[in-house]
Amino acid sequence: AQSVAQPEDQVNVAEGNPLTVKCTYSVSGNPYLFWYVQYPNRGLQFLLKYITGDNLVKGSYGFEAEFNKSQTSFHLKKPSALVSDSALYFCAVRDVARQLTFGSGTQLTVLP
């Protein structure tokens, strides 16, 4: 069975500093990986996906993610954090049946 782990429940970073939100996955076959963000009282917003190709994937709002097959990781990154980036971030993997399995989420707080 596939699984996703987000080892950090909470990440704090100062505004203007780079941020990283970690994600590792376990799946048989080729991984289809996603990052979503959730703001309070809102649904999930799609940030980016990795299906195949370049290991560095660029997404919305200046976010990018690095796919590392040997480490089975798909960490979310942004060079310079904004206070408005504060939200709950979910990593997800899709299996051959198209079912999304989500990680437990990481609360990102960007401090002014």
Partner 1 sequence: KAGVTQTPRYLIKTRGQQVTLSCSPISGHRSVSWYQQTPGQGLQFLFEYFSETQRNKGNFPGRFSGRQFSNSRSEMNVSTLELGDSALYLCASSLGLDSYEQYFGPGTRLTVT
Q: Which residues are near partner 1 by CB under 8 A? A: 32, 34, 36, 41-46, 49, 51, 90, 94, 97-105
CB of 17 to partner 1, least distance (A): 28
> Of 32 and 81, which has the nearer Cβ to partner 1?
32
SS3 label, residue 84: helix
- Burial status of residue 47 (CB atoms within 10 A of its CB: 0-12, 13-18, 19 or more): buried
CB of 79 to partner 1, least distance (A): 24
What count of other Cβ atoms lies within 10 Å of the Cβ of residue 70?
5
CB of 21 to partner 1, least distance (A): 16
> Of 31 and 81, which has the nearer Cβ to partner 1?
31
Residues 87 and 70: their CA atoms lie apart, in Å, by 29
